[in-house]
Amino acid sequence: MSPQQLADLLVATGRAHHDAFIDTDGFDPDWPSWYANHLEEELRLGGYRGTKDELAELLVEQDQAVRGAGRQEDWARAYAEHLWPVLHGS
């Protein structure tokens, strides 16, 4: 899985999450767990060996970094740039 494929997967996951929480306009205080559950199988196929909890923590850390850097408009690419090396043991 390339960084771009990871970014695309994150975008698709974001859409699925929003659809799952349409009644709250996508709001979900436990979104990291939802994302981790949704992403786990695809990431495992790509070589990820961490746990869902570790993945959820990585997502929270990345969310804080992206928001702090003001890169929310291209969040998936920013997440992928930082998550890809971690997910692949680099």
3 state DSSP class of 21: coil
* Cβ proximity of 38 and 13 under 8 Å: yes
What domain range includes position 82? Answer: 3-87
What pLDDT digit, counting tens, does each position of 5-63 carry? 999 999 999 999 999 999 998 789 999 999 999 999 888 888 888 899 999 999 999 88
Alpha helices in the chain (DSSP H): 3-20, 31-45, 52-69, 75-87
Alpha-carbon distance of 18 to 27, in angstroms, equals: 8
Split into its structural domains, the chain has a count of 1
pLDDT value, residue 44: 87
Global pTM value: 0.86
Number of Cβ within a 10 Å radius of residue 25: 7
